[in-house]
Structures are given as structure tokens and as C-alpha cells.
Structure 1
Amino acid sequence: MAQAPQNNAVDVFMAEALPSDSRQARQLARRQLIVEAVMAESAMRIEDITERFSISLMTAHRDIDELVERGLLRKSRGVVSATPTSLIESSDVYRSTRQLEEKCALAEVAAGYLEPGQAIFFDDSTTVLQMARFLPSKAPLTVITNSLTVMTELKEMRDITLMGLGGQFYNWCNAFMGQMTRNEINNLRADMFFVSMSAIIDDRVFHQSAEMVETKRAMFESAQKRILLVDHTKFERRALHSFAHLSEFDVVIVNQGTPLPIIQRMKDKNINVVVAPMKPQSVQHANL
């Protein structure tokens, strides 16, 4: 079976209606939950899947093989992941629904650093995307981004000068990357760069995609001030490619609920960490 692009395949699969046959309905529902669990964890052992869903090893392999055939997961040496390398980012659409309240809290604090008249880099992350709703109150601004999602979100905003970075388009993250993109970035200078990444371990920031790291690093080097937005789920998660040490950022914004030992460790290392307070759920939803 030909593999559809992952961000389309995931969306289609997760939206499939349950069949009328109860056995098939249970099977599809379980497989949808397996996809969600693997994407949330980045990678899972097959044994962990059998325990979480109370299924036999044979059933787990049958479910996973079907998901592999559909291009949704990868299986290698008893480990299931959403990537050919076990370390690729999940789809843009899927990522946008994860830790949404935390992302909104981070974005609101980050927007407080904006001043009218600034030129700013926005990366392609779904966390930084949440800053869009705060931009009109900070206008006029010039926003430079490689994210097609951000471009679409900002294109109708008044007093926002939107500069889209071209290059090779990557469907899985809905963004442009590559040498052409980096060349454009290198010819620009911005006041600020707002970025989020996939993983933090040993006080370093990592990402699954080498191309993504190179593109974001170009923005990093071309901005006067660098601000990292990261929710608590990113700490101690693993990814392949190193991006920067936390001490290289001017501000590291974390959400309330990030373990206190992690926050204290960063402060002890003179990392400028700011904690974004979480709003009550009802208030958060009213603002969306």
C-alpha cells in the first residue's frame, strides 16, 4: 500500500468513523488510541503497548503491522515510533492539539516581550503559532516566518507586515526549509526570534529533524534576542539533533506545572527562566 504523507494520513485515520460491527469498531478505536499514544510518547516498546491496552503480543503486532502498512507508524526491534528514524516530529495538525492550554499560556507571556515597530522571526512551531492572537495589540510589527500555517494565520491582520521565507516545502511540518530558506534568513536581521523545540535534556535543546535545526539556527543567529517557549512535556524527552544550550537564550519561558527541581536547576545555572501561569480551563477556552 502506498504511504500517504503523514500529516494527511494521520488526520484521515483518526477521523475514520467506527464501523457498525462491534468487533471492528473496537479494533479501529484501539488502533486510533495506539497511534495517539505513540505520537505522544515519540516511541514505545511493543511490550508497553500490550500492557497499556491489555492485549496479547500477537494482537499488538497485528495492529501495529496494519498501522505500519498505512504509513502511520514504524516498527524496529520491538520499538514502535512515528518515524523512519524513531525520532521524527508528528504532523503539524496533530501537534497543534497537544498541550494547547500550556501553549496558550506560554504564548501570552512571550507576547509581553513584543514592542511596536519590531521585526520578529517566528518559527514553524505550533506553540509560537499561539502568539498570533496577541499581535494586533502590539502592531505595527514585521513578522518573518518559514511557516505556511503562520502565514495563513497572519495574512489578514492589519498593521502586520508579513515576510514569508521560501525554499523547499516540507509537508509534514507545513513549512519551508533548506539552503534557499537559510540564504534568505542570513540576509535579514530581526529584533527577536521566538522558537519552540521538541526536547530538552542535559540543559540542551534538541529536535528530530536536522533540516529543522539548521533553519531555526539561522533565525537564531540573525536575531538580537532569542526567546524559547517550552512546556513541561519537553523536559527529559529525547531527540536526535542538538540545537542550542538553554544558556544561549535570552529568555526561557516554561509553563506552571514544570517540575520545580527543573526550574531551580535552570536558575542555579543563571538561565533566565520565566514561568507562565496557567489560567483556569473555562477562562482559557473563552479566550480561544
Structure 2
Amino acid sequence: MTVPRQTTTQRRGLLLAAVRGGDSSIQALAEQFGVSPSTIRRDLTELAREGHVVRTYGGALDTGPSVERTLREKDASHAEEKNAVARAAAELVRDGEVVLLDSGTTTGRLAHHLADRPGLTVVTNGLTVLLALADSPEVDVIVLGGRLRHPNEAILGTTVEQQLRHIRPDRVFLGADGLTADRGLCAPTLEQAQLKHAMLHAGREAYVLVDHSKLGSAPFVYWAPMDREHTIVVDDGHPAALAPFESLPNCVLRAVTV
């Protein structure tokens, strides 16, 4: 199936998702995206330069799970599932509450659904959340100050954790690059794993927002243990992936239909 014509940035994000899905032929990719093979070659060369793929004769291969994807790439993956999870999470938030939103694509979508909620206070370390709420007169936005990290556009640093000590939000919503029943949340750096753990314990109620592809996934070596009561909000696209979490004593599953 040929996809509608995209901008170069959009096409490269979708192209990377296609390569990660097993498509590697330049000719097949050119037909799929409705562009010339030379355009696909340039796209793959740029993706290889950024470290996302390895160029091969006639195509490209995924570099593997340890390579961190950009926020644009993540946002293009499982978009419908993320939207469903974000909508369900927004329904949990009551007007006037103080909520803490982690950085990430699904939390950014959640922020979009909260933009017209009166009297809400949103605390965040995520640029996606900030941009989603920047034009909202209804929401009081508190940005945790620190260092902006690329490629996931998270604000990090000791100052972020220090500021968290002075806030007791009603609800905390965390994102994850992977989530396993035995280890918890997977993060690309030790600093982010530590911050997610601090966020987990910062509020009255804690939630993890993931699409089903994140369940059982461990792309990195850094972890935030889920050692308090929490709710996992996830789409129901892969029921078997939910099974390991159903027996966890401090975990509640909230599966939503896409």
C-alpha cells in the first residue's frame, strides 16, 4: 500500500518505522512511499548518519534495540494506540488537580487532551508537554528546570529532582521506553531511570502510559523499579503481553480499546 506524500521529515520517520518492521528493499520502499529510489537512498543515508540504520547493498537494516530513537520517530509509531491511552488517562484527571507529566510522546498527547481543563496545574520535565500546553489559558504550567536532553527532549539534572521534593501532585503519569514485570521501567540513561523513580514516588497516585509494544521490551540497561502501587494504562492490542503484569501485587491494569 502506498502512503500519502509526506514532508521529508515525516517520510524519514515513517521510513525508519518501515525498516524496523522488516522492510529493507529500496525498490519496495520507493513504491510504498511514492518517491524515487534515489530519494529513498538519500533518506537511508541520512538515517544511517544519525545512527538509526545500517546501510546494506540495496537497502538498510535496523541497528538494533539499543539505539535510541528520536521523539519524531517514536511519535509516528503506534499513534492510534497512544491516542487511545492518552484519552483514557485524561479521563482520570479531575478539574483543579495538580498532575506531574513525564517527558515522552504519550504524555505529550495526554497534555493535549488536558489543554482546556479549568483550574488544572501541570508540572513537567517534557518539552512535548510544554508545547502542547503553551497556548492554554486554562492550565497553570510549571516547568522543572534543568538541562534539555536530546533526542527525547526531556529536561534532566539534579535541579529537577530537587524541585520534585517540594511538590506533591495528585497524579503522576510516566512514560517508558520499555516495561517489564520483573524490572520495571526501562530508560536510556541512568539519570533518567533515577528521575522516573523519583517521579513515581512523588504523587498520591502513579500511572504508567504505554502502548502494547512497550510491554516486555527492554531496549536499554537502565531501570526504575515499580516499587509502589501504580496503574498501567495500555491499549488492548496484544492481550498476551498483559499476562505477566496481572499477578503483580502493586499493579492495576487498565486496558483500553483503540
Pairs within 5 Å for 1:131-210: 131-136=110-115, 138-203=117-182, 204-210=184-190
Match of 1:114 in 2: 93
Identity %: 21
The verdict on how the C-alpha distance between 1:69 and 1:37 changes in structure 2, with shifts beyond 3 A counting, is closer
2:217 to 225, 229, 237: 237
Where do 5+ consecutive residues of structure 1 fail to align?
Answer: 1-10, 17-31, 42-47, 56-61, 279-288
Question: Take 1:269 and 1:250, find their aligned partners in 2: how far apart are those partners?
Answer: 10
Pairs within 5 Å for 1:225-264: 225-239=205-219, 240-245=221-226, 248-259=228-239, 261-264=240-243
Match of 1:58 in 2: none
- Deviation readout 1:137-174 (Å, 9 max, x if unpaired): 53211100111221121021122000011111113112
The verdict on how the C-alpha distance between 1:200 and 1:184 changes in structure 2, with shifts beyond 3 A counting, is same
Question: Take 2:47 and 2:75, find their aligned partners in 1: how far apart are those partners?
Answer: 23
Contact 1:250-1:272 at 8 Å conserved across structures: yes
Deviation of residue 113 (structure 1)? 1.2
Pairs within 5 Å for 1:1-288: 33=15, 35-37=16-18, 40=20, 53=25, 66=45, 70-73=49-52, 81=63, 87-136=66-115, 138-203=117-182, 204-239=184-219, 240-245=221-226, 248-259=228-239, 261-270=240-249, 271-278=251-258
Question: Take 2:245 and 2:161, find their aligned partners in 1: how far apart are those partners?
Answer: 30
The verdict on how the C-alpha distance between 1:153 and 1:13 changes in structure 2, with shifts beyond 3 A counting, is closer
The verdict on how the C-alpha distance between 1:95 and 1:265 changes in structure 2, with shifts beyond 3 A counting, is closer
TM-score by length of 1: 0.68
Question: Take 1:254 and 1:69, find their aligned partners in 2: how far apart are those partners?
Answer: 32
Question: Take 2:197 and 2:248, find their aligned partners in 1: how far apart are those partners?
Answer: 22
- The Cα RMSD (Å) is 3.0
* Residue type at the aligned position of 2:252: N
Aligned residues: 229
Match of 1:28 in 2: none
The verdict on how the C-alpha distance between 1:211 and 1:37 changes in structure 2, with shifts beyond 3 A counting, is farther
Deviation of residue 262 (structure 1)? 3.3
The verdict on how the C-alpha distance between 1:258 and 1:68 changes in structure 2, with shifts beyond 3 A counting, is closer
Where do 5+ consecutive residues of structure 2 fail to align?
Answer: 1-6, 28-40, 55-60
Deviation of residue 80 (structure 1)? 5.2
The verdict on how the C-alpha distance between 1:158 and 1:238 changes in structure 2, with shifts beyond 3 A counting, is same
Question: Take 2:212 and 2:84, find their aligned partners in 1: how far apart are those partners?
Answer: 12
Contact 1:128-1:194 at 8 Å conserved across structures: yes
Match of 1:26 in 2: none
Question: Take 2:150 and 2:193, find their aligned partners in 1: how far apart are those partners?
Answer: 17
Deviation of residue 272 (structure 1)? 0.8
Contact 1:114-1:138 at 8 Å conserved across structures: no
Deviation of residue 13 (structure 1)? 6.9
